[in-house]
Amino acid sequence: MQVTRRQFFRVCGAGLSGSTIAAMGFSTGEALSQVREFKLARATETRNTCTYCSVSCGLLMYSMGDKAKNAQAKIFHIEGDPDHPVNRGTLCPKGAALLDYVNSPHRLTHPEVREPGAKEWKRISWDQAFDRIAKLVKADRDANFVAKNADGDTVNRWTTTAFLAASASSNETGYITHKVVRTLGIVGFDNQARV
Ligand code: SF4
């Protein structure tokens, strides 16, 4: 019989409670039927990837409740994903402390911009951020794209903008990122895995 990790802990928890109470002379029948539910049983489980380093360990993140409108979603437990091929359930100390990072009041959760010459960062919307990135990328590429070199050879290169990709992405995202970057002619292209 295949027993999942969660079932294993439930069975162990129930067995331990039952034998301890029986040793004290109580009937365990009623008590066992009301055994306390595993604390993650009604949480929402979400798979993700640790954001810290290029190892890209897999995570299981547990958040409150069933996403009802009057309930505020909050992640309250994070652990290594035992099914993830990179870390097989383990996390280093940084990854093990991710809960504080996720719930930190200092965490940046929206885009900001600091205009040239300005001292302050200004909050902008995601639409404004994407528009701004697209406009700046196009303007720089229009001004600096080189189709042919001095010898007349086709080079199709754009060297004034660089791109840093995330190593925590999936293979598919990495493939598409590479295609987009090279299609634009970007030469300066690196990955978080080497940082
Ligand atoms: S848990 Fe540690 S080793 Fe794994 S990705 Fe996060 S920081 Fe890197």
Q: CB atoms < 10 A from the CB of 90, how many?
A: 15
> Closest ligand 1 atom to the C-alpha of 93?
2
Residue nearest to atom 1 of ligand 1 (CA): 95
Domain identity same for 56 and 127: no
Max distance between CA atoms of the chain, in angstroms, equals 95
Query: Residue 68 — very low, low, confident or very high, per pLDDT cuts 50/70/90?
Result: confident
Q: Are 94 and 118 part of one and the same domain?
A: no
Query: Measured in angstroms, how far is the CA atom of residue 96 from the centroid of ligand 1?
Result: 8
Domain count, the chain: 3
Give 168-179 pLDDT, tens digit per residue. Answer: 777 899 899 999
Q: Is the CB of 166 under 6 A from ligand 1?
A: no
32 CB within 6 A, ligand 1: no
Which CATH number belongs to the domain containing residue 97 in this structure? 2.20.25.90
- Radius of gyration of the chain, Cα coordinates, nearest whole angstrom: 26
Query: Residue 7's domain spans which residues?
Result: 1-38
Ligand 1 contacts CB of residue 94 (under 6 A): yes
Q: Quote the pLDDT of residue 29.
A: 62
> How many C-beta neighbours within 10 Å does residue 157 have?
15
In 3D, which of 12, 9, 13, 171 has the Cα closest to residue 82? 9
Q: Which of 107, 123, 157 is the last residue of a domain?
A: 107
* 3-state SS, one letter per residue, for the chain: CCCCHHHHHHHHHHHHHHHHHHHCCCCHHHHHHCCCCCCCCCCEEEEEECCCCCCCCEEEEEECCCCCCCCCCCEEEEEECCCCCCCCCCCCHHHHCHHHHHCCCCCCCCCEECCCCCCCCEECCHHHHHHHHHHHHHHHHHHHCEEECCCCCEEEEECCCCEEECCCCCHHHHHHHHHHHHHHCECCEEEHHHC
Q: What is the pLDDT of residue 135?
A: 97
The answer, yes or no, to whether any atom of ligand 1 lies below 6 A from the CB of 78, is: no
Q: Is the pLDDT of residue 104 over 90?
A: yes
* Percentage of the chain exceeding pLDDT 70: 82
Ligand 1 atom 4: residue of nearest CA: 57
Do 57 and 10 lie in a common domain? no
Residues 83, 24 within the same domain: no
Q: How far is the CA of 59 from the centre of ligand 1 (A)?
A: 10
Q: Write the pLDDT tens digit of every residue in 77-89.
A: 999 999 999 999 9
* Same domain for 75 and 9: no
